[in-house]
Amino acid sequence: MNIQKIIKIVALVIGLIAVFFLVNIMRLGDEAIEADVANQGVLANFANLAYVVLAIATISALVFSLINLVSSPEKLKKALLSLGVFALVCAVAWFASTGVERTLNDGSTLTEGQSQLIEAGIKAFYILIFMAAGLMLFFGVKKMLSK
């Protein structure tokens, strides 16, 4: 059986289950759901179905992305290069950060490592913003000059 047929069948089954839950929710009405705690199970089933659909979508996106990367060596090379650049940016941000232990307003303590991780995340964000802006500027100027 073709994978696309299986996906269509699974999507149809999930859609029919969702319609069943939606009809139950609409049949009960807002007042009955708000007034009767026992009917909250209908909403919980609907929410659980949403979690299942989210999990299926996430897993299928990851699997098909990995299949696509493995089947094309040039795409895999570009993806690994991008991942390497991101790891380098994170490493630079980590080593450029310092951690200071602090007491927070609620009385809990922010450890030195947690502080360094937060600072590294902020610095990595700024580095990535500057890289993106620089690349957009570079390619924009390059395109203008090539005309």
Q: What is the pLDDT of residue 40?
A: 59
User: Same domain, yes or no, for 127 and 86?
Assistant: yes
User: Same domain, yes or no, for 92 and 110?
Assistant: yes
Element spanning 104, H or E: none
User: Same domain, yes or no, for 81 and 67?
Assistant: no
Q: What is the pLDDT of residue 25?
A: 73
pTM higher than 0.85, yes or no? no
CA-CA-CA-CA torsion sign (27, 30, 32, 33): positive
User: Same domain, yes or no, for 84 and 142?
Assistant: yes
CB 119 within 8 A of CB 97: yes
Q: What is the pLDDT of residue 132?
A: 96
Q: What is the pLDDT of residue 116?
A: 93
Q: Which of 30, 55, 71 is the last residue of a domain?
A: 71
| Cβ neighbours for 24, distance < 8 A, ≥ 6 positions apart | 42
| Cβ neighbours for 68, distance < 8 A, ≥ 6 positions apart | 75
Q: What is the pLDDT of residue 35?
A: 65
* Domain of 112, in residue numbers: 74-146
pLDDT averages per 10-residue partition of the chain, 147 residues: 77 84 76 62 74 86 86 89 96 93 88 93 96 96 89
